[in-house]
Amino acid sequence: MPFLSQKPIPPSERLIFALDVPGPEEARHMVQRLGPSVIFYKLGLQLFLAGGYFELIDWLRNHQKKIFVDLKIFDVPETVRLAVDRLNHRGITFATVHGNDSILAAAVEARRDVQVLAVTALTSLDRFDLKQLGFQCEPEELVLSRARRALELGCDGVVSSGLEVARLRAETGSGLTVVTPGIRPVANRDDQKRTVDVTQAFLNGADYIVVGRPIRDASDPRTKAEEIQASIRALFPRADSPV
């Protein structure tokens, strides 16, 4: 297991649940339903546009939850700088930023207590999709190129499909935090194309995984989350202290 994460992250915090629900009321209900089975929550664009986003962040923090703001911030550098600055001092752990060097540099300059994650390539995109977007390369090459830039510019980490993490680790080392979405426990039939299962994501070098629909759409979301946590504990049996 050459790429298994050695970062001192409590095993229960390596699972990030994608809180993709229609609004804050549904979000609070899901958090309460999941109880202690999930510590870390990702809040994306759907919730942001529903209103009450920062009030929900405060509520999660007051319930001792960790927060990942996944808005994939992309705009002119000054606007990105101001946006990231608004996320400081709110108890937010991660925020995603997308763009070229000047955009990422602006985000890094503005961060204080929030960690900046650079988006590499969405897990819903395959080689054909990237070609339509004008990229004449394999997904792995795009991910590696963007990860190298993120590291050079001082980003705290990247968001990367589990398919690319092993090579990313081999070429960039263990310094970058890697958050891996597109986790599917079985053969996949939805819009996520570049997927791996829980164990493979961590063996390839992920520090955290993001799981949404497999938990949210389960007949018993809490039981499904607990099953995933058990898989994680089997890989990381030591109860490490928080970073």
What domains are defined for the chain? 11-235 (3.20.20.70)
Residue among 4, 80, 72 nearest 240 (CA) = 4
Confidence of residue 137 (pLDDT cuts 50, 70, 90): low
Tell me if the pTM is above 0.95: no
Q: Measure the CA–CA gap between 65 and 36, rounded to whole angstroms.
A: 9
Q: For residue range 67-104, what is the model confidence (pLDDT) as tens digits?
A: 999 999 999 999 999 999 999 999 999 999 998 999 99
Q: Does the pLDDT value for residue 159 go beyond 70?
A: yes
Q: Which 3 state secondary structure label does DSSP give 70?
A: strand
Confidence of residue 157 (pLDDT cuts 50, 70, 90): very high
Q: Does the pLDDT value for residue 188 go beyond 70?
A: no
Give every CB contact of residue 120 below 8 A, 6+ residues apart in sequence. Answer: 142, 143, 146, 147, 150, 158, 159, 160, 161, 164
The predicted structure's pLDDT at residue 139: 66
Give every CB contact of residue 81 below 8 A, 6+ residues apart in sequence. Answer: 106, 107, 109, 110
Q: Does the pLDDT value for residue 108 go beyond 80?
A: yes
- Residues labelled as active-site residues: 72
**Token pair listed for 15:** 């699972």
Provide the β-strand partners of residue 6: none
Task: At 201, give phi and psi (nearest 5°).
Answer: -60, -45
